Chains A and B, each alone.
Chain A
Amino acid sequence: MIRKLRTGTFHTGMVLLSLLWLGPVIWVVVMSTRTFDDIAANGVGSLPHSFTLDTYRQAWVDGGELRALVNSLLVTVPSVLLSLALAAVAAFALSRYRIPGRRTILLLMLAGNLLPPQILLIPVQKFSELTGLYDTLWALITVQVGFGLGFYTFVLHGFMRDLPGEIQEAATIDGAGPAQIFTRVMLPLTRPALAALGALSFTWIFNDLLWAITVLRTDDRMPVTPALLALQGQFVSSWSVIAAGTVIAAVPTVAVFLRFQRHFIGGLAIGAVK
């Protein structure tokens, strides 16, 4: 009896909490399908009295979300691939070979990632102006790669270090050089860690605001996050269009999360254990 009561209380409490977490999200999704007149007449807090998908067209076309989404993907995909590639080779060399000063190098790289980005903003902007990269997507890609590298290297290093040495020895006996050992032996074994970091870094880079508004200026080149803020200024009181824009901006990361759910949670846990 007491047990049943406790189970009941647990589920009631958790359902209420889940509602507190999911409620605002559901509210925004519902709101994105309301017409302007409905919201003007009944307010943002009322239940819907209308249904339209025109809000999505407005956010997508008039609000420039399509272009922003393309920009985001043009930045995010190369950034993720490049930073993981660079981090993987660094982690491989540092964890499997006796590189002089390897521990210092590793910790220095990690420390770079832990720096507050504020100290880097002004110099990075000035440097990107100097190199002519300012206001191009290349500037954003290279910054993202440079800033993320340290953490990815550290995590991959921890993973590669724990792989058994015998496989590497066997490959060495068979005459494989470092390049072959890396591509044929280590990389396949590191796949779970790479998948986890890939899913995580995709959301981090895709969701970034600060670097984008530091190295980009032209509206047409902005990725989705700053574009969403601009949308808010453009459609000041069209709450349903803003809501539609918000949903559009959230879909890619939610999709990546759902597709790589296991890796994603596992990746966060790697971060916790390391």
Chain B
Amino acid sequence: MADVSTIAETPGTATSAVAGTPRRRRRSARLSPLLVAFVLVPFAVESIWVFWPALQGFWFSLTRWDGQTPPEFIGVDNYVELAGDATFRGALLNTVIWLVLFGGLSVVGGFGMALLLQRERRGVGFYRAALFTPVVFSLVVTALVWRVFYQPDGLADQILRTVGLEHLIRPWLADPKTALYAVILPALWRQIGYVMVLFLAGLKAIDPALQEAARMDGANGWQRLWHVTVPQLKGVNAVVLSVIVIDSLRSFDIVWSLTKGGPYHSSELLSTYMYSAAFQSLRLGYASAIAVVIFVLALAVILGYLVRAFREEA
């Protein structure tokens, strides 16, 4: 290490790629104020609108607050109340159902579509585009498209009538038995194309020689899928899983546009319950406690994601 001067960008370092430690030498140990600003300004913006509010959110969850008078500290009372709140438990259960059905089916559907459409052949471009189209729509647009579909005497009812299943017809979004599932379906419709694109990118990166070798060894289609393709997708799988869990816990727009969590909280998710507790019932402390629960559920996933990202950075 001959060159430890504060300014590493001396002519000698230009050829340091051969010298073994190009990274260390290339960079200046003296930071210009401009570079500090480059990092600090964005970080400050995010601190103001994300980090600081997040900390405040935790604090608010320990208070009773109507938004007008100052918040009053009440310890863990909000959490105690949550434990006995039937609506909250219903919303928690619905969120888990949402996670399993919306998350699980979009992974299965997206992966299946990616496998079907991975080989370039005639028509594949069109099919991919068709499945991907709803991804660019907002969830509100998606909701309105499906609201038309679910209307009494709308397309859904017409189809059932045509195939002779008219006894199944019901007010899909207004029936507490079907509301949640009637909301999951449009969400899936929009998500499958997105997951498909992620998997298509992952499948493209797999070396075709691996498939060929497995085929030579006499592996059948399923075996090749399970023992060659799926393990090769490990990285993509982790990302898809994180994206799906985070998206599920964040899901709000589609429920809010279609049912607002009703009827009788039958399609209530933690996110919609939190929103109505905060901005309709004006129970800001209680709503913050619900938000903390959502945060804790998301945390496990985020940690997994970050641990992976960290390893990649290292």
Check: B226 CB closer than 8 A to any chain A CB. Answer: no
B41 and A86: CB pair below 8 A? yes
Check: B178 CB closer than 8 A to any chain A CB. Answer: no
Check: B111 CB closer than 8 A to any chain A CB. Answer: no
**List of A residues within 8 angstroms of B113 by Cβ:** 17
A107 and B149: CB pair below 8 A? no
Q: Give CA–CA (A253, B35) in the complex, Å.
A: 35
A147 and B50: CB pair below 8 A? yes
Chain B, range 106-149, C-beta contacts under 8 Å to A: 113, 116-117, 123, 126-127, 130-134, 136-141, 144-149
Check: B103 CB closer than 8 A to any chain A CB. Answer: no
Check: A187 CB closer than 8 A to any chain B CB. Answer: no
Check: B294 CB closer than 8 A to any chain A CB. Answer: yes
A179 and B34: CB pair below 8 A? yes
Option from A94, A96, A242, A253 in Cβ contact (under 8 Å) with B137: A253
A268 and B298: CB pair below 8 A? no
Check: A2 CB closer than 8 A to any chain B CB. Answer: no
| Chain A positions 71 through 102: 1 when the CB is less than 8 Å from some CB of chain B, otherwise 0 | 00000000000000011011011101111001
Check: A163 CB closer than 8 A to any chain B CB. Answer: no
Chain A binder among B79-87, B211-219, B301-309: B301-309
B49 and A146: CB pair below 8 A? yes
| Chain A interface SS verdict (over half) | helix
A120 and B29: CB pair below 8 A? no
Given known contacts A119-B54, A210-B252, A166 and B17 CB-to-CB distance under 8 angstroms:
yes
Option from B50, B147, B249, B294 in Cβ contact (under 8 Å) with A146: B50
Q: Nearest chain A CB to B145's CB is how many angstroms away? A: 5
A118 and B201: CB pair below 8 A? no
B274 and A118: CB pair below 8 A? yes
Check: A48 CB closer than 8 A to any chain B CB. Answer: no
Q: Give CA–CA (A209, B137) in the complex, Å.
A: 12
A45 and B157: CB pair below 8 A? yes
Category for how many chain A residues contact B: 35 or more
Category for how many chain B residues contact A: 35 or more
Residue of B nearest to A227 (CB): B140
B116 and A45: CB pair below 8 A? no
| Chain A positions 13 through 56: 1 when the CB is less than 8 Å from some CB of chain B, otherwise 0 | 01001100110110110010000000000011110000000000
Option from A46, A109, A179 in Cβ contact (under 8 Å) with B43: A109
Option from B58, B145, B205, B298 in Cβ contact (under 8 Å) with A25: B145
**List of A residues within 8 angstroms of B9 by Cβ:** 169, 172-173
Check: B310 CB closer than 8 A to any chain A CB. Answer: yes
Q: Give CA–CA (A31, B158) in the complex, Å.
A: 15
Given known contacts A14-B116, A44-B151, A249-B140, A116 and B309 CB-to-CB distance under 8 angstroms:
no
Check: A243 CB closer than 8 A to any chain B CB. Answer: yes
**List of A residues within 8 angstroms of B32 by Cβ:** 177-178
**List of A residues within 8 angstroms of B287 by Cβ:** 122
**List of A residues within 8 angstroms of B146 by Cβ:** 24
| Chain A positions 147 through 167: 1 when the CB is less than 8 Å from some CB of chain B, otherwise 0 | 101100110000000000110
Q: Nearest chain A CB to B88's CB is how many angstroms away? A: 14
Check: B104 CB closer than 8 A to any chain A CB. Answer: no
Check: B171 CB closer than 8 A to any chain A CB. Answer: no
Residue of B nearest to A117 (CB): B250
Q: Give CA–CA (A165, B24) in the complex, Å.
A: 12
Listed by A's residue number, 15 A-B pairs whose Cβ atoms lie within 8 Å are A14-B127, A17-B113, A18-B130, A105-B43, A107-B313, A116-B298, A119-B288, A165-B22, A165-B23, A207-B140, A209-B257, A225-B140, A229-B256, A243-B144, A271-B198
Closest 8 CB pairs of A and B: A146-B49, A207-B138, A123-B53, A269-B201, A18-B130, A93-B38, A45-B158, A123-B56
